[in-house]
Amino acid sequence: MTDTLPPQVASPAAGDTTGSPKQLARSLGVVGGTLLTLSCVTPASSLFVIVPELFNSLGTFTLMSILIGTVICIAVAFCYSELGTLVPSAGGEYAMVGTLAGKFTGWLVFIQSLIVVMIVPSLIAMGTADYLEPIIHLDPKWAGAAVMLAATVAGLLDLRANAWITGIFLVLEVIACAVVAFLGFGHSERGVSSLLHGSVVDATTGATGGVNFSVLLAAMGTALFVTQGFSTAIYLSEELENPRKNVARTVLWTLGLSTAVILIPVAAITMGAPDLKALSEGDISSLVIGWSNSGVGTFISLCIALAIINAGIVMVIQNSRVLFASGRDKAWPEPVNRAFGTLNKFSAPWISTLAVGIPGAALCFVGQDLLTNITGVAVAALYLLVAVGALFSRRGHHKGAAAWRQPLWPALPILVIVALAYTLTKLDPTALWWTLGITAAASLYWALYLRPRPETRWIITLPEDQRG
């Protein structure tokens, strides 16, 4: 029933099998999809790799910053859930927004998502060395590169098998987070009221000071990054059974569970740190050893190392699907499109997987602070553009389409747009310029190569079984 497809969406032409990629197989239910998306959020790696940066800059106000970021993410998750059920494509954000708000807007979304998917795995992987320190001393860059290459190999395997592997690792992550929460609350040095007042120790001077609004805003990119992985569900939407229902369920379950797994230990660490200096240093392993002993500290460190490896596997899986979809949608010259769309015997897009994993290993040798800040900018811009797409979700063909519908539309998307537009102006200027430069170069590619070829390039497609 092709009349059910919106005008912007095209199915592959009948009989056009030359160079056309195979379709991904639907093999995941809500449980498998949630395990994979939770593993992509990787609560333990977010808690032990990303959150310490917030402790460095925000001290006792770290929990509030993540709560504020979570409130924004709830509204964003509603947008993802509605658009993901309207446009269930492995292309994720770009397919949703490009279908609803136009091809150029979709292209801008693709560029922001590409920045995120290429950088985030490397950032997480570089944290491995710190948590293997009780056993072996490794250079963070080389350890991160090794994790990325191992994750690439795992990403070439069957998706269902990876769901179980990452699910086992996820259990270890949750145990590690639970132990940290138990120890922190059991050694409380300050009351719950401390979570509402921002106090931090300056790493240079050692002086204790408050946290002002401008510092909080500057850290919001990182705070949004902490629970960012819930969007993985939409990248898996072509492999989820009954995507009209299961995409929204997977997105919302993932956000809720990951937020709980992260926030409870953050509260415990904030209350249990022996002093503000120890909290602001963000060395969670040392805090755990101080609360217990070196054996427990080693166990937690190994669980975290496994969580980081788990994150690498899932992120490579997710991100390869983005490149797979971009090849199918003719975003590149034809040889590149064919390569990105090639599947192996496990129905994994193997060239796309290599194209994510190998550059990811190389990025481990770039400055971590710069990568973190660029990612924060790209995540904020990506969420903003998804919210823009959500404003078009109830027009024309899509108004009566079968889909999960978010509450308080269009108020929530508008609030997200305003909040994130303001937040972007307060983020790291260097990261803003890097992101703007990449976006400008991509816009030139659009203007000079994609836009003049509307019939043969950047044709956003949907799997045949999404109709109805």
177-223 tens-digit pLDDT: 899 999 999 998 888 887 877 777 766 666 677 777 777 777 887 88
pLDDT (mean) for 89-103:
83
Domain range holding 224? 32-459
pLDDT score for 378:
92
Is 411 within the bounds of a domain? Answer: yes
pLDDT score for 12:
41
At which residue do the structure tokens 């132990």 appear?
Answer: 179
**Per DSSP, what are the bridge partners of residue 268?**
none
Is 59 within the bounds of a domain? Answer: yes
Is 468 within the bounds of a domain? Answer: no
Q: Return the higher-pLDDT residue of 66 and 23.
A: 66
C-alpha to C-alpha distances, 409 to 85, 349, 453, nearest whole angstrom: 16, 36, 35
Query: Sorting pLDDT into bands at 50, 70 and 90, what band is 28?
Result: low
Is 464 within the bounds of a domain? Answer: no
Is 1 within the bounds of a domain? Answer: no
DSSP letters of 360-392?
HHHHTTS-HHHHHHHHHHHHHHHHHHHHHHHTT
- The count of structural domains within the chain is 1
Is 22 within the bounds of a domain? Answer: no
Q: CB under 8 Å to 153, separation ≥6 — which residues?
A: none
The domain that holds 184 is classified in CATH as 1.20.1740.10
Q: For the chain, give the longest Cα–Cα distance.
A: 71
Q: Return the higher-pLDDT residue of 25 and 460.
A: 460
d(CA 322, CA 238): 12
pLDDT score for 159:
58
Task: Give the H or E element holding residue 236.
Answer: none
pLDDT score for 132:
81
Contact 302, 316 (CB under 8 A): no
pLDDT score for 432:
93
d(CA 96, CA 91): 8
Burial 48-66 (b: 16+ CB within 10 A, else e): bbbbbbbbbbbbbbbbbbb
Q: Is residue 164's pLDDT more than 80? A: no
C-alpha to C-alpha distances, 346 to 25, 119, 158, nearest whole angstrom: 10, 26, 5
Is 374 within the bounds of a domain? Answer: yes
Task: Give the H or E element holding residue 28.
Answer: none
Query: Which token pair is 352?
Result: 């796309």
8-18 tens-digit pLDDT: 333 443 334 44
Is 71 within the bounds of a domain? Answer: yes
